[in-house]
Structures are given as structure tokens and as C-alpha cells.
Structure 1
Amino acid sequence: MIDILVLFHSTHGNTLAMAREVCRGIDGVDGCQARLRTVPPVTSAIDPSPRQIDERAPALVERSDLDECSGLVLGSPTRFGNMAAALKHFIDGTGSEWFSGTLAGKPAGVFTSTATLHGGQESTLLSMMVPLLHHGMILVGLPYTEPELTTTRSGGTPYGASHVAGPDADRALDDTERHLCRVLGRRVASLARKLRSTI
């Protein structure tokens, strides 16, 4: 089986819901399976209390997940137009993988959730792409051959899947957002399978 790592950070559960839809898209590609992982939480000087990890949440990512995957899909809520600190902290610690080329040549995609329609979705997606390019990954977006990109009234960008969670983070994924998450998963998995067949 070809493993595609779906790695995310979620605060209110919306990014996790997106991650599960991305996994459904991956699992729908013959010979591919999703490996759902989350990054450890981080604390800061202004919030020194350790966070409790939900035991129902997916397993924490390990270095071996990066080595064993044939593709990667990153997800994060928006933090001031950027990825969340927990995800960036993990990525900042992948220097040894960068040095050894662990992720080079593997396909990757990104997804995000924001409180508002113009809450920095595209800048957050782009911020996640930059370190993936440094790792030598092949970026996969969403093409306008998907009619939902043109008709969406909520999430959905050519840079990756997105979701508008609302100011109270209580708006569930709509059908369009779910569809585009699955398409992103399928596209990354399909490219990983094609690349594997050429080796």
C-alpha cells in the first residue's frame, strides 16, 4: 500500500473534520491509504499551562511517518494569516529530513480553516507551501476543472481546500467544502501512485 500522511493541527475540531475528508479521498484511490496524524501542542510564556491531549484524537506524528509516507497533506487553522504555531514548530524541527531529502520528490497538498470568509485562507495555504518547496516536494492544488471552485460561497481555493468555520467555530463543513477536501486527497494520492509506478 502507498501511505499518504495527513498531518494537521486543530483547535476546535474543524481542521480535524477536514483532515478526515482528505483521508476519505486518499482511501478512495486504489492501492493508497491515509495515515492520519496530529502534531503535539505547544505552549508559550503567555500560556504556560500544558495542554491536555484528547485521547480520541489521532496519534501524534513520529519522524518515521515522514520517512514512510509517499505523499503529505498538511492542515492548519489560520493564525493571523499564517499556519498555527504547533504545525510550524513541528515543521521547523524537520532539518534532518531536509538534509537527507526524506520528502524530496513526494507530492504534497495543504488545507485550512478560518473564522471568516476573508480570514487569511490563501495566505495560510501559501505559508504552508513554502517549507514544502524547501523540502523539494511537488505541490498539488485544486484545478478549476472542479466546478465547485467557481460556485462555492464558502471555502475552496486553487491553492488547497478551505473551510469557513464562523466566528464561534461552530459551522460544519458544507457539501462543497467536503467535496474539495476529498478531491485534494485524491489528487495527492493519485500523483503518488503515478510516481511510484515510474520507479
Structure 2
Amino acid sequence: MADILILYYSQGGATREMAKLIARGVASVAGAQPRLRTVPKVSANHEATEPDIPDSGDPYVELTDLEECAGLALGSPTRFGNMAAPMKYFLDGTSGLWLKGALIGKPAAVFTSTSSMHGGQESTLLSMMLPLLHHGMLLLGLPYSEPALAATSTGGTPYGASHLAGVMNDKPISADEKALCIALGKRLAETAIKLKHDN
């Protein structure tokens, strides 16, 4: 089986819901299985502020999750057009994997949620791609052959899945946003399996 790591940070719950939809897309591909992981919050001085094991929900990610995965979907809410600090803090600690080249050649995709329509969805997705490029990963987006990409009036970009959550995280994930999350997971899993068989 090809394990697809779906690694996310979620504060209001929207990014977590997107991760579950991406997992559905992954699970729809024969030979692939999703592995959902999250990261803990950090304090203003960038120290982890939560216990080693979360009280509920998905487990915290470990570096071995990245080493073992056949592909990665990385998700974070937007913070001023960039990924949230807890995700950046975790990624900053992956230099050991970089030195080993552990992620080179693995496919990756990104996803985000924002409180406003022009709240930095695309810049957040692009900012999350940068460390993945440094790791030598192969980035996947959403092609316009996905009907929901042209139809959406909320989230959804060619750079990755996105969701317009609203200021209070009160906007449900739209049908188009759901379709794009599932499509992204499916595309990532299919690509990971193809790459695995080619090696």
C-alpha cells in the first residue's frame, strides 16, 4: 500500500474538514491509504504548547511519517497570506530529512482555508510549496479539466484546494470545494502509485 500523508494544522476546524475530504480522495484509489496527521500549536516564542499526544483527533506528525509516505498533502489556514506558525515551525525542523534527501521525488499537494475571499489563498498555497521544493518534492495542482475549478464561486485554485471559511468559520465547505478536495487527494494518490511502480 502507498501511504499518503495528509498533514494539516487547523484552528477553527475548516482545514481539518478539508483534510478529511482529501483523505476520501486518496482512499478512492486502489493501493493507496490516507495517513492523517496534525501539528501542535506553538507559543509566541515558537515553543510547542500542547502535550505530546493530543486529547482527541488525529495524532501529531513525526518525522518518520514523512519518511514513510509515498506522497504528501500539506494544509494550513491562512495567516496574513502565509501558512500558520505551527506548520512553519514543524517544517523548519525537517532539515535532517533534507540532508538525507528523504522526500526527493515524492509527489506533494497543498490546501488552505481563509476567512475572506481575497485573504491570501493563493499566496498561502505558494508559500507552502517553497519548503517542499527545497525537499525535492514534485508539486501537483488542480488542472482545469476539473469542472469545479471553473464553476466555483468560493474556494478552489489551480495551485491546490482552498475554502472560504468566513470570519467565524461559519461557512460550510461548498460542493465545488468538496469536489476539488477529493479530486486533489485522488490525483495525489494516483501519481504516488504511478511513481512507485516506475521505480
Report the TM-score range of the alignment, normalised by the length of the smaller protein.
Answer: over 0.9
The structural deviation recorded for 1:51 is 4.8
- One-letter code aligned to 1:153: S
Contact 1:43–1:51, Cα closer than 8 Å, also in 2: no
Q: Which residue of 2 aligns with 1:93?
A: 93
Aligned residues: 198
Contact 1:103–1:137, Cα closer than 8 Å, also in 2: yes
State the alpha-carbon separation in 1 of the partners of residues 54 and 166 from structure 2.
23
Q: Which aligned pairs between 1:3-22 and structure 2 lie closer than 5 A?
A: 3-22=3-22
**Shift in alpha-carbon separation, 1:105–1:118, aligned structure 2, 3 A:** same
Q: Which residue of 2 aligns with 1:68?
A: 68
The structural deviation recorded for 1:48 is 8.9
Q: Which residue of 1 aligns with 2:103?
A: 103
The structural deviation recorded for 1:167 is 1.3
Q: Which aligned pairs between 1:143-154 and structure 2 lie closer than 5 A?
A: 143-154=143-154
State the alpha-carbon separation in 1 of the partners of residues 56 and 173 from structure 2.
20
- Seq. identity, %: 56
State the alpha-carbon separation in 1 of the partners of residues 97 and 49 from structure 2.
28
**Shift in alpha-carbon separation, 1:143–1:42, aligned structure 2, 3 A:** same
- Structure-1-length-normalised TM-score: 0.96
Q: Which residue of 1 aligns with 2:25?
A: 25
- One-letter code aligned to 2:100: S
- One-letter code aligned to 2:171: R
Q: Which aligned pairs between 1:1-199 and structure 2 lie closer than 5 A?
A: 1-45=1-45, 50-51=49-50, 55-199=55-199
Unaligned runs of 5+ in 1: none
Unaligned runs of 5+ in 2: none
Q: Any idea what the Cα deviations from partners look like across 1:101-155, whole Å, max 9, x if unmatched? A: 1110000000000001110000000000011000000000000001111110100
Please state whether the residue corresponding to 1:60 is helix, strand or coil: coil
**Shift in alpha-carbon separation, 1:99–1:114, aligned structure 2, 3 A:** same
